[in-house]
Structure 1
Amino acid sequence: MRIIRGLHNLGSFRSELAAGCVATLGAFDGLHLGHKTVLDQLLEEAANRACPAVVVVLEPLPREYFAPVQAPARLMSLREKAEGFAALGIDYLLVIRFNEQLRNMSAEAFIERVFINGLNVAHLIMGDDSHFGRGGEGDVELLRKYGEQHNFKVVPTKTCAVDGERVSSSRIRQLLEAGELGKAERLLGRPYTISGKVIYGRQLGRTLGAPTANIALHRLRAAMAGVYAVEARICRQDASRGDHESPRWHAGVANVGTRPTLNESIEAMLEVHLLDYAQSLYGARLEIRFLQWLREEQRFESLDLLKQQIQRDIDAARQWFASQQISTR
């Protein structure tokens, strides 16, 4: 998959898109089953037309730009989205920077610059409730008018429901916040995962009897908070051979939150302790899948009390893995 970073780089891909493309625009936060339905629709149409499949996303999301503190928590980072698109077979990902210039761009100018002159779109798949352009003035009806004038077709996205419930990112956020991981998994089509690079911390976990791999989430809010039984897959960074991903999942226990006992963070952090694993993980990229909620994050009056609770969390995670007949070694 090719990533086009910004509208100013579209000209470099003009020859590759000369025969047209099939495109869609959306947030795609979480890449849940509803998104998968849209992307399957995109890929099928692209295959029928023998032209590229293109996904367009805005970064940051408009709600994050206008109200970063109040915006809904992200389910996944841009990198995680890109990896998901690539795995599904998308040909191009256009990432448009949402800034003051884009905020003030009219809907007509957006259509002309992105879909007509930029992507040379032949077929556009959009949600009926989609809005774009200055003040959200653009909608599907405006796109259809332009489509008639410029010979491209605009069709609605297909909807997706699981057990009679419409699949949406907002519903998945609600389930994750409530600790309903199983229900969230049914809407996602997979366990909820977070991936990121292990960074250096204070190495306090070692003194507490549970060394942790720390992953900065680079967001003010996480979609979930608390302590969980998890599995982690390790991707080593190797400049000479490229990244090497282990196929094995390691059992562990994770905390997502702001570490209130230490009073040291306003941004969410992911801390993972792998059971029966002694190797250093610094610099590695981990993929963490969340399997079972264990408890809420809480503040302890002393590090000794925190240490005791961490051991209870490890014991609880081991018991859960045993109940599921999942090996921790």
Structure 2
Amino acid sequence: MRLIRGLTNLQGLAGNPRSPLARGCVATIGNFDGVHLGHKTIIDQVRDKAAELNVPSVVVIFEPQPREFFQGEEAPPRLMPFRQKFEALLAEGVDVVLCIQFNERFRSYSAMDFIEEILIRGLGVHHLVVGDDFRFGCDRAGDFNLLEQVGDERGFTVENTHTVMVDGERVSSTRVRNLLNVNGLEQAEVLLGHRYRIHGRVVYGRQLGRTIGAPTANILLHQMPALQGVYVVRARTDAGEWYDGAANIGLRPTVDGKRPSLEVHLFDFAGTLYGQHLEVVFRHGLRDEVKFDSIDELKQQIARDFEQARRWLAENPLPAGEDGF
């Protein structure tokens, strides 16, 4: 799969015999946060049409996501960071991901600028899959009807996305986010098609955990996570080895944390994880984040958390043959 970052790198690709967009493409546009069952159905639509036309499938995403640009810290928490999203799209068989930087320049694009510069000249789109409520352009004048109208004139077609329903409600990132917010891991798993997980690089932290007998692998998060608290987890290292453990995700109020982070303690692990990418799967919620009056109180609670996590793991073993997820 090819990643194209930024509109500058898109220029000159459509029709260029040496580019992945030499024959144009079939595309869809959205945030694709979580790459849930609804997203996978849209990707299937795109891939099927791309195979029919013998052109690449393209997913157009934005970084930051539009609501993050406009709302800042008030924006909804992300379900997954950019790298994880890219890997998830790769796993779904997408040929090209175009990541557009959502900035003041892009914000000023009119609906017709977007169609002309990105869809036609940039991507050479033959077929576009978007929701009938899709709006775009600085004046929000761009919608499904405009795309159909211009498509008729310029030679591309437009198709509405298929809706996926679970328990009578549409599958959406917002719905997954709301479930995670109330520790609904099992219900979120149904909508995602897999257990909820976060990938990230292990960085050096304050190493407080080592001093209180609970060494952790620290993963900095660039946005607030969709869930916060202490969880039973299962994590995979770069070596492909899985370990059970416990993790805290959030702001670490007892130590006056300023940035969100994911701190993972792996049971029965010896070694260093600095610099590795860790895949952390959330299996069960233990408690909310709490600000303790002292580090000693925190240390005592962590010991109870570990005991409770090990007990839950003993009572909920993985099915035979299911090492990872």
User: In which range does the TM-score fall when normalised by the shorter chain?
Assistant: over 0.9
> Which residue matches 2:7?
7
**Which of 89, 96, 99 pairs up with 1:85?**
89
Please give the alpha-carbon distance, in whole angstroms, between the structure 1 residues aligned to 2:198 and 2:140: 31
Q: What amino acid is the match of 2:286?
A: L
Higher deviation after alignment, 184-193 or 13-22: 13-22
Tell me the equivalent position of 1:312. 304
| Paired residue type of 1:105 | Y
The one-character-per-residue Cα deviations of 1:32-53 (angstroms, maximum 9, x if unpaired) are 0100110011111111111100
Aligned with residue 244 of structure 2, among 237, 244, 251: 251
Question: Aligned-pair distance for 1:201?
Answer: 1.0
Which residue does the alignment assign to 2:22? 18
Which digits, 9 at most, give the CA deviation of each residue in 1:63-84, with x for residues without a partner? 1111111110011111111111
Task: Provide closer, same or farther for how the CA distance between residues 233 and 12 of structure 1 changes in structure 2, counting only shifts above 3 A.
Answer: farther
Q: Which residue number in structure 1 is paired with residue 147 of structure 2? A: 143
Aligned to 1:198: 202
Secondary structure of the residue that 1:67 maps to in structure 2? Answer: helix
Deviations 1:156-200 (A, max 9, x none): 000101222210100111111101111111111111111111110
Aligned counterparts of 1:165 and 1:182: Cα–Cα separation in 2: 16
Q: Give secondary structure in 2 for the equivalent of 1:42.
A: helix
Aligned equivalents of 2:127, 2:206: Cα separation in 1? 52
List aligned pairs for 1:1-329, cutoff 5 A. 1-14=1-14, 15=16, 16=19, 17-219=21-223, 221-235=224-238, 245-246=239-240, 248-263=241-256, 265-326=257-318
Aligned counterparts of 1:19 and 1:146: Cα–Cα separation in 2: 20
Corresponding letter in the other structure for 1:3: L
Distance in 2 between residues matched to 1:261 and 1:31, nearest whole Å: 34
Structure 2: stretches of 5+ with no match in the other structure: none
SS of the residue aligned with 2:11? helix
Q: Deviations over 1:198-239 (max 9, x none)?
A: 1101211112111000000012x211100000010111xxxx
Shift of 1:289: 0.7
- Residue of structure 2 in register with 1:240 after alignment: none
Identity %: 52
Output the CA distance in 2 between the equivalents of 1:34 and 1:266. Answer: 34
Number of equivalent positions: 316
Deviation at 1:12, TM superposition (A): 4.5
| Secondary structure in 2 matching 1:176 | helix
The answer to whether the 8 Å contact 2:12/2:122 transfers is no
Amino acid at match of 1:162: V
Task: Report the alpha carbon displacement of residue 6 of structure 1 after superposing the two structures with TM.
Answer: 1.0
Matched residue SS, 2:72: coil
| TM-score, length-scaled by structure 2 | 0.95
Q: Give, in whole Å, the separation in 1 of the partners of 2:13 and 2:24.
A: 11
1:11 CA displacement: 2.5
Query: Structure 2 CA distance, aligned partners of 1:109 and 1:201?
Result: 45
**Gap change, CA 1:289 and 1:135, over 3 Å in 2:** farther
